[in-house]
Amino acid sequence: MSLSGVEAFSARLRRLRHTAGLTQEELAHSAGLSTNAVSQLERGLRRHPYPHTLGALADALDLDGAERAAFVARPASLDRSPGSGAPSTSPEVLPGGDTPLIGRDDEVTSLVSRLTGGSAGRLLTLTGPGGVGKSRLARDLAACARGAFADGVVFVPLASLTDPSLVVPTIVRAVGLREEAQTPPGELLSEYLRDKSLLLVLDNCEHLLAAAPRIAELLSVCPTLRILATSRSRLGVRGERACPVEPLAVPEAGAPHHLARISNAPAVRLFMARVQDADPEFALTPDNAEEIAEISRRLSGLPLALEVAAARVSFLGSTQLLTRLDGVLGLCGARDLPERQRTLRATLDWSHDLLSRAEQVLFHRLAVFAGGFDLEAAEAVSAGGELTSDVVLASLENLWEQALVRTAAAPGPAGMRYGMLEPVRQYALERLADSGEEDQVRARHADWCLTLAQRVEPELSGSDQSRWLDVLDAEHGNLRAALAETLRRTDDDAGLRLAVALRRFWYVRGHLQEGRRWLQEALTACSSAAPPLRGAALSALGHLAVKQGDFTAAQSSYTQALELATAPPSTRATAAATGGLAVVALWTGAHERATRLSRQSIALCRETGDPSGLATALNVAGLVEIQRGRHRDAAVLLEEGLAVSRAAGDEGLTAAHLNKLGWCHLEGEHLDQAARSFGDALTRFARLGEQWLAADCLDGLARVMLARGRPTRAARLWGAADAQCTVIGATTLPLDPSVYERLTSRARAEIGEDAFAAAWAQGAALSPDRVLGEALEEIAIEGAAENTPAAHGADRSPGARSRLPRDPGDALPAPRGGQIGQ
């Protein structure tokens, strides 16, 4: 009498354990199971072990090849009687998730609809990098779709196979069939499934792609069969519908800190669920929310990384964990996961080993890109040796197919961009370090960044500067990495040249503190650099310090720059440093000195014939005259500067002059003209991403609104202006603090302290785009109704005047900021 299925499996497990020379306790420990679990399996008391349990046992028993395939597939027929043909019971074997699926509700709904819909897409492949949760999602999809398949669902784990020819025999056993000597497994399977309404889940196909044609053939002869596959790359057969599985969404970086927003992010929800599995008392609080949000961002929302990291919170706490995330690759996850998924490194090793030699080399080299890359950058930095440009292109495509490289959500300014999830990049960096060519590749990357920055620098004072600023924004992570790399060098001044090339980008895009830090570090590291280069860096430091209200530092930087401009003599550098000192004098109340220095700067710029320098000098001189109350003189200077800026095509300097002219119009009580000038300048600044100068326009528009009897709108604009300065770390002080305080006090008195505070807070909460839209709408409405007495009814306070207050003690209206233009 033959053994039953249960007895045969029990006997086989005992035999294999004895052959391996293991006790039940030793086998249980090696497989990450309890001794009782192994005992129950050997006695036939546990009839439906999970596939990952069988995989763990197979690993512990060191099984491979056909023997391993037979072992892990055996439980599909544990309770079936022997015989050929159809199984005696339902073939359904679907491992369930022991925890709820988090953050995938929309995906599940959409994919279940596709699985159970019309004839299109009978082969659905979930693709994505290791650790993103493809297998888990597949199990939940199959469970949700089960009712749509009269003949059930069969889950077929393929990770343990090494030979593509074993895929079909493994499926045969999984559905409960017995192989027959006279019938090939493919024919047996096709005949059995031909009229079945069944969902076949093929898990982990990426290393068995040679079997994909057999899968396609099976679908062609079984019209009601559906297949759900998981793979790090597409199977590559006709009729396949690839569905990329993305990491879980993380809280937006730089967004206002709201506990509810952070706690609702799917990545944080998964992280917290796993933390609370180990420590039910751990909670998300205002004190740790930003740390946990940053952990989820640093791990790129990758579910396996989140689960592995969460298991350490009880031991390390969120603060320590955040500082030690680089070590998360090798930490172990849940013991009931397959061995290759217990650590991130094991998961990524699995993917890495599937790559060709050329693909592995490219994968390692691309890791130096800290902020993504386009094809041109990949070729420039990675090509060399065995990697020609053609090989880079072909290998990059396969890395993308394998989900080790991802396309960006939207093309960058220079075209399609690519990148890696941060845990994947960290792994590739380790491999690069092991390869012995890290220093060489990092040097090529730094040189590429320097070449890019120097190529873009002259474009940042042209008509297309917004697009070029976007190019640098897209490469910001790479530029930071290149600065760190070049400043480690002691034999050249590349770091200082890179910092100087980026100075205008830092000015305009509001990276004030960061720009100061890099420039100071570069000056220290490149102490022997030529005087013109050091002088340019010092002038840049002065400009950034002015924006932050650090006038002592600005004075020191400009003074040193002026000294360097004389050795060798440079009229252009002297003009720039002199203009900077004029601004510092203005901010510190030395108006006569500011006038003298600004006029010297203009004369020097006329001598050099530098249109950008001249426009900047005229802008500074006009600002000085506004502050001195000489608005007609200011207007003459600013109109000339506006003409020069427009002729040079400099969008930023054109906006700066329009802004200052708005203040001149405001003083003359030409409110329509003032509003239009401020609005035009604000639009240009918004296009450039310049927030400090935009805030100056908002201050001017707020004063226009107050003069028109709209104190609530004024408070809202002041709040927006203050927030835009604060977010980039710029000074929020106006040049005319007494007038500014008097005007804001008037608005408070007219609408009440509570209403003023509410309007201010509403303005502060607006995004720059929303602020721009509201401001331009307000200008259009007010401009159309300027001569209509009732136009401002609801917001006009009793007795409000249509002009700014001019008490005898008032200083004249002046801009908030002492800008020196762009």
Query: Which DSSP string corresponds to 790-822?
Result: TTTGGGPPTT--SS----TTPPPP--SS-----
Best CA proximity match to 688, nearest among 541, 821, 501, 820: 821
Q: How far is 745 from 631, CA to CA, in rounded Å?
A: 25
Q: How far is 364 from 425, CA to CA, in rounded Å?
A: 9
How many other C-beta atoms lie within 10 A of the C-beta of residue 657?
Answer: 27
H helix and E strand count, the chain: 39, 8
Q: Does one domain contain both 199 and 285?
A: no
Q: Does one domain contain both 612 and 536?
A: yes
Q: Does one domain contain both 778 and 722?
A: yes
Beta strands 225-231 and 123-127 are parallel
Handedness of CA 722, 724, 728, 730 (dihedral sign): negative
Q: Find where tokens 């172990």 sit.
A: 332
**48 Cβ contact list (under 8 Å, min separation 6):** 75, 78, 93
Q: Does one domain contain both 708 and 800?
A: yes
Q: How far is CA 529 from the centre of its chain?
A: 35
Q: Does one domain contain both 110 and 200?
A: yes
Q: How far is 55 from 65, CA to CA, in rounded Å?
A: 13
Q: Does one domain contain both 575 and 705?
A: no
Residues spanned by the domain of 794: 693-822
Residue 98 resides in a domain: no
Bridge partners, 374 (sequence order): 417
Tokens of 194: 């031909």
Bridge partners, 387 (sequence order): 384
Q: Does one domain contain both 538 and 609?
A: yes
Residue 352 resides in a domain: no
**Is residue 627 a contact partner of residue 604, using CB atoms and an 8 Å limit?**
no
Predicted pLDDT of residue 45: 60
Q: How far is 446 from 483, CA to CA, in rounded Å?
A: 7
**Dihedrals phi, psi of 816, to nearest 5 degrees:** -70, -40
Q: How far is 280 from 692, CA to CA, in rounded Å?
A: 46
Residue 423 resides in a domain: no
Tokens of 142: 């199959």
How many other C-beta atoms lie within 10 A of the C-beta of residue 353?
Answer: 9
Predicted pLDDT of residue 98: 54
Over the chain (822 residues), the average pLDDT of each successive run of 10 is 48 84 84 74 67 76 75 50 40 54 86 78 88 88 87 87 88 82 85 91 91 92 93 88 91 74 89 84 86 87 84 72 64 50 72 91 95 92 90 92 80 77 86 93 96 95 90 93 89 93 95 95 93 96 95 97 88 94 94 94 92 93 91 94 94 95 90 94 93 94 94 95 91 87 95 95 90 85 53 34 36 48 46
Q: How far is CA 146 from the centre of its chain?
A: 37
Residue 680 resides in a domain: no
Pick from 293, 321, 344: which residue ends a domain? 344
**Dihedrals phi, psi of 62, to nearest 5 degrees:** 60, 45
Handedness of CA 724, 727, 731, 732 (dihedral sign): positive
CA of 820: how far to CAs of 144, 578, 631, 657, in Å?
Answer: 63, 11, 18, 10
**Is residue 772 a contact partner of residue 780, using CB atoms and an 8 Å limit?**
no
CA of 115: how far to CAs of 110, 120, 225, in Å?
Answer: 9, 9, 11
Q: What is the DSSP letter of 330?
A: G
CA of 544: how far to CAs of 68, 480, 518, 531, in Å?
Answer: 66, 18, 12, 20
The CATH number of whichever domain residue 171 belongs to comes to 3.40.50.300
Q: Does one domain contain both 68 and 173?
A: no
Q: How far is 627 from 129, CA to CA, in rounded Å?
A: 60
Q: Does one domain contain both 70 and 128?
A: no
Sequence length of the chain is 822
**Is residue 494 a contact partner of residue 479, using CB atoms and an 8 Å limit?**
no
CA of 294: how far to CAs of 253, 325, 367, 419, 490, in Å?
Answer: 8, 11, 21, 19, 34
Best CA proximity match to 66, nearest among 185, 163, 156: 163
**695 Cβ contact list (under 8 Å, min separation 6):** 720, 721, 722, 724, 725, 730, 732, 816, 817
Predicted pLDDT of residue 412: 61
Q: How far is 261 from 273, CA to CA, in rounded Å?
A: 16
Q: What is the DSSP letter of 210?
A: G
Residue 658 resides in a domain: no
Pick from 77, 95, 117: which residue ends a domain? 77
Helix pair angle (494-501, 531-547), 10° resolution: 40
**Is residue 469 a contact partner of residue 508, using CB atoms and an 8 Å limit?**
yes
Q: What is the DSSP letter of 97?
A: P
Predicted pLDDT of residue 327: 59
Best CA proximity match to 284, nearest among 298, 269, 296: 269
Q: Does one domain contain both 121 and 198?
A: yes
**Dihedrals phi, psi of 633, to nearest 5 degrees:** -60, -40
Residue 95 resides in a domain: no
Q: Does one domain contain both 631 and 541?
A: yes
**Is residue 309 a contact partner of residue 321, using CB atoms and an 8 Å limit?**
yes
CA of 684: how far to CAs of 351, 659, 688, in Å?
Answer: 48, 10, 6
Residue 413 resides in a domain: no
**CA within 13 Å, CB half, 502:** 34
Residue 611 resides in a domain: yes
Predicted pLDDT of residue 791: 39
Q: How far is 462 from 446, CA to CA, in rounded Å?
A: 26
CA of 81: how far to CAs of 69, 78, 84, 85, 86, in Å?
Answer: 20, 9, 10, 11, 10
Q: How far is CA 14 from the centre of its chain?
A: 52
Best CA proximity match to 570, nearest among 534, 544, 546: 534
Pick from 313, 344, 375: which residue ends a domain? 344
**Is residue 309 a contact partner of residue 295, using CB atoms and an 8 Å limit?**
yes
Q: How far is 162 from 208, CA to CA, in rounded Å?
A: 7
**CA within 13 Å, CB half, 557:** 26
Q: How far is CA 418 from the centre of its chain?
A: 12
**Dihedrals phi, psi of 786, to nearest 5 degrees:** -55, -35
Q: Does one domain contain both 132 and 205?
A: yes
DSSP, collapsed to helix, strand or coil, labels residue 786 as coil
**Is residue 309 a contact partner of residue 331, using CB atoms and an 8 Å limit?**
yes
pTM exceeds cut of 0.85: no
Best CA proximity match to 354, nearest among 202, 159, 200, 203: 159
Handedness of CA 201, 207, 209, 210 (dihedral sign): negative
Total domains in the fold of the chain: 5
Q: How far is 637 from 640, CA to CA, in rounded Å?
A: 5
Predicted pLDDT of residue 668: 80
| CA–CA–CA angle 795, 797, 798 (5° rounding) | 140
